[in-house]
Amino acid sequence: MSREASGPGSGAGSGPAAPGASLDDACVKLAGRLADAAGRVVMRHFRKPMAVAAKPDASPLTAADREAEAAMRALIEKAFPTHGIVGEEIEARNPGADTVWVLDPIDGTQSFVTGKPLFGTLIALLDRGWPVLGLMDLPAIKERWLGVAGRPTIFNGKPVRVRACAALQDAWLYATSPQMFGDRDFPAFERLRKRTRRAVYGAECMAYGLLANGYVDLVCEGTMKLYDYAPMVPIVEGAGGVITDWRGRALGPDGDGTVLAAGDAALHAAAIAVLAGK
């Protein structure tokens, strides 16, 4: 399933989808409780001696990852027993439900295990496969973004907005690492990087929050999973930005792993063209 991204809104980007405007406030409140619970677990382990295992894809896994996800799942199952849950670390529960929570207890585990505070807990709520709520919490630095479709994005209790930047040569670009792009996508990323003012690496999930706050203009990433990008959709769109895959398609359950977020609709269109080799 795929759909085209929404068109340009007023000023800098595409507006959020209307259906989320009626999202049950109990779900919004629960998302905050989930982040609080995960943060308590994660911070008990942060910068403490810990065992680090390797997943099949060689990415790191710690006890904190599983404990934090389990804490969030317990709260969801108690509050909304019919909702589905898809998490990074534990087997999915009722993933075909109309309403599904998507959880990444520690996005940026490499940062977490090496003492770098730019890791985050990512939470999304999907309505029939499409993100209508996204929360990103960085517990080590006490920064939190909340996006709900149809509402302004909130950062630490206050609404935020992207900035205007229509020209690639003026744009600051973020990516987690140039190493995240496979052989298929790296040449396209390099084309885009060379057209921008500056590429910066290493912000992890926080890059999308910095875009929503108007500090950066583009985020371009590859090899992303549903739990990586679903929370970012309401956060970026609620701040007035645009977020799609590299072909301009809205990010739903069957994404191809590519993500392009921009604070300005004109900048997004220009970046899409460069990624396509035009």
- Are 237 and 130 part of one and the same domain? no
- Are 187 and 222 part of one and the same domain? yes
- Can you tell me the distance from the alpha carbon of 49 to that of 35, in angstroms, rounded to the nearest whole number? 23
At what angle are helices 63-79 and 25-45 packed, to 10 degrees? 160
- Residue 27's pLDDT is what? 97
CB contact set of 179 (below 8 Å; sequence gap of 6+):
none
Long-range contacts of 194-200 (CB under 8 A, 24+ apart): 195/168, 195/169, 195/274, 196/168, 196/169, 196/171, 196/172, 197/169, 197/170, 197/171, 197/172, 197/173, 198/172, 198/173, 199/173, 199/174, 199/175, 200/172, 200/173, 200/174
> Would you say residue 10 lies in a domain?
no
Its domain, for residue 65, covers 19-159
Single residue among 125, 159, 193 that ends a domain in this structure: 159
Helices and strands: H and E segment counts in the chain? 8, 14
- Can you tell me the distance from the alpha carbon of 135 to that of 272, in angstroms, rounded to the nearest whole number? 26
Residue from 252, 23, 205 nearest 104 by CA = 205
pLDDT in 10s for each residue of the chain, 278 residues: 333 444 333 334 333 344 444 688 999 999 999 999 999 999 999 999 877 777 676 677 788 999 999 999 999 999 999 999 999 889 999 999 999 999 999 999 889 999 999 999 999 999 999 999 999 999 999 999 999 999 999 999 999 999 999 999 999 999 999 989 988 899 999 999 999 999 999 999 999 999 999 999 999 999 999 999 999 999 999 999 999 999 999 998 888 999 999 999 999 999 999 999 98
- Can you tell me the distance from the alpha carbon of 160 to that of 266, in angstroms, rounded to the nearest whole number? 20
Other C-beta atoms within 10 Å of 108: how many?
23
- Residue 52's pLDDT is what? 78
Single residue among 140, 159, 178 that ends a domain in this structure: 159
Cβ burial, residue 182 (10 Å; 0-12/13-18/19+): exposed
- Are 151 and 249 part of one and the same domain? no
> Would you say residue 14 lies in a domain?
no
- Are 141 and 53 part of one and the same domain? yes
- Can you tell me the distance from the alpha carbon of 147 to that of 159, in angstroms, rounded to the nearest whole number? 10
Cβ burial, residue 259 (10 Å; 0-12/13-18/19+): buried
- Can you tell me the distance from the alpha carbon of 221 to that of 141, in angstroms, rounded to the nearest whole number? 23
- Are 171 and 150 part of one and the same domain? no
Q: How many domains does the chain have?
A: 2
C-alpha angle with apex 221: 219 to 223, nearest 5 degrees? 160
- Residue 159's pLDDT is what? 99
Cβ burial, residue 234 (10 Å; 0-12/13-18/19+): buried
Q: What is the pTM of this model?
A: 0.90
Q: Do the Cβ atoms of 109 and 62 come closer than 8 Å? A: yes
Q: Do the Cβ atoms of 31 and 23 come closer than 8 Å? A: no
Amino acid at 162: V
- Can you tell me the distance from the alpha carbon of 243 to that of 236, in angstroms, rounded to the nearest whole number? 7
Single residue among 159, 188, 214 that ends a domain in this structure: 159
- Residue 58's pLDDT is what? 63
> Would you say residue 1 lies in a domain?
no
- Are 133 and 221 part of one and the same domain? no
Direct distance between the N- and C-terminal alpha carbons of the chain, in angstroms, rounded to an integer: 26
> Would you say residue 7 lies in a domain?
no
CATH number for the domain spanning 88: value is: 3.30.540.10
- Residue 1's pLDDT is what? 32
